Amino acid sequence: MQGNGQWMFSPVIETAWGDTALQLRAILPGIAQQDLKVSVQNNQLILEGERRAPETFKQNAHAQLAYGKFYTAVTLPNGLNVDKLTCRLQDGILDIQIPMSDQMKPRQIQVQSGEARKSISA
């Protein structure tokens, strides 16, 4: 709960590394696109917005889903290209992909064989 009497909650966030990007998923059932703000500031991904209770809910309604404002900040590792971050909200799931910079992508290093050594006679 916030100090001004409004409820605030943090959505559930899942993260996974793909071959070329960091993938994040926020579980946001009932959130409309216009009630969601995604930003990057000081190397943090910030999700904030509001889940509005249905208009049919009365003052004494019982709900197990949190309503009100939400906020969460995820610290991002170095080496991501946040300028190419993409977000997609569908069916209450916000999928976020942040590509790795070229310096962070794994690369194969070729191992060369050395010259054959001659044995020295004593």
Quick: pLDDT tens for 51-66. Answer: 887 778 777 777 777 8
Residue 69 lies in a domain: yes
Task: Give me the number of domains the chain comprises.
Answer: 1
Domain region containing 91: 8-99
The domain spanning residue 30 has which CATH number? 2.60.40.790
For the chain, which residues score pLDDT lower than 70? 1-7, 116-119, 121-122
Alpha-carbon distance values, 59 to 52, 53, 63 (Å): 14, 11, 11
Residue 112 lies in a domain: no
Residue 113 lies in a domain: no
In 3D space, the residue among 14, 37, 41 whose CA is nearest the CA of residue 97 turns out to be: 14
Residue 107 lies in a domain: no
Share of residues in the chain with pLDDT > 90 (%): 51
Residue 104 lies in a domain: no
